Amino acid sequence: MGNVFTRLYVGNGAFDIVGKRVRWYITSAIILLVCIGSMVFNGFNLGIDFKGGTKISLPSVSQSGQAISSTAVEDSYAKALPGKKPNAVQAVGSGASATIQIKSPALNVQEVASLKAALAQDLTPQGGQSAISDSAVSASWGGEISGKALWALFWFFIVVTAFLAFYFEWRMAVGALVAVFHDVIITAGVYSLVGFEVTPATVIGLLTILGFSLYDTVVVFDKVKENTRGLLGLTRRTYAEAANLALNQTLMRSINTSLIALLPVIGLLVVGVGILGVGTLQDLALVQLVGMFIGALSSIFIATPVLVDLKMRDPKYIAQAKRVAARRAKASSPQAAGGIESTDDEALASDLRKEEALAAAASVPHRTAKAGDVRRRPTGKRHR
């Protein structure tokens, strides 16, 4: 186990990620089909901001000082409005400011008055009936937020595609966009499968995970670009092998970055649920937690393999891969000793020496000079 982590840190883990890309494609395709099927047939648990309705808020503590439970609120609601039930009953906040919020389908004035009277009589919240507030929520506001989010997503993809195509190349732009779409669809599918409530904060959180996914992908692509510079003139490794080496060299960095990025999100989720109660912070942190985890995986298992498949459609790289195979076949025979390109062989030897030095530095302690190795200063007079 220790050897595995050492190899990860020095970047020569030799994990064949690109070579097994068909396996990752099949796994992702199955997950995507499940998520898309859930979104089509199950839909989403849309919050009151998207469907519209009435929101009732009351103190979470009764006049006797006892906490009011969500079950008691639901029972009082059913008693006041037979045949109807609330969409959600949630405790929000903490301490003296803690409240219970009832998210209900749209109620008329008479129904709101009956519900408030029943809640005041059954639960006796602090402040009495005057402490129970109500507000009507229009579905147009959630729709407006969604519309703006879709426009932001559209322009985001346009700008990112142009930047990646200019700085790298169009194939890398396609690989990055495939990974981002993969992240968005799976994150949305998880919400549909589990039944998490979709709120405007969820939509905003979904936009924030796009940057994280692209950040990790760009780091890997930059290393791929470095490893494949001048590759067509060499025969030591194929484009797929050079890209896989880049993944191994950045793998530990990707893991560390993802873990560090997830820690504050987990903290935000704990604060949002455990301290402040279910609310906007929870919605924002939940989508970020799911999206960042999926984004970390896609930058490793989706983006670079897609790039390799696109590159290997280029006749130049197909021919280079054939030259690599021919060189290796020739090198494996006893008669091939003098037929290997000297410049390519020197470059390969340099790479091997570098990797061996990194591995030795990570696992072997620094050797101190022995007493006999120290050069002593000569004694006696110095002749001028």
What would the pLDDT profile of 157-198 be if each residue is shown by its tens digit?
Answer: 898 889 888 988 999 999 999 999 999 999 999 989 988 888
Nearest C-alpha neighbor of 224 from the set 254, 247, 255, 251: 247
- pLDDT at position 370 over 50: no
Residue range 322-347, pLDDT digits in tens: 998 888 888 776 655 554 444 455 55
Give the global pTM.
Answer: 0.75
Which residues make beta-bridge pairs with 198? 46
What's the average model confidence in pLDDT over 96-100?
A: 79
pLDDT tens for each residue of 53-63: 888 999 888 88
Q: Look at residues 273, 281, 287, 210 and name the one whose alpha carbon lies nearest to residue 44.
A: 287
Lowest mean pLDDT among 142-151, 168-177, 301-310, 351-360: 351-360
Query: Distance (Å, rounded) from C-alpha 88 to C-alpha 113?
Result: 19
Please say whether the beta carbons of 233 and 176 come within 8 A. no
State residue 305's pLDDT score: 95
Mention every residue, 6+ apart, whose C-beta is less than 8 A from residue 170: none
Domains detected in the chain: 14-45+141-318 (1.20.1640.10), 53-137 (3.30.70)
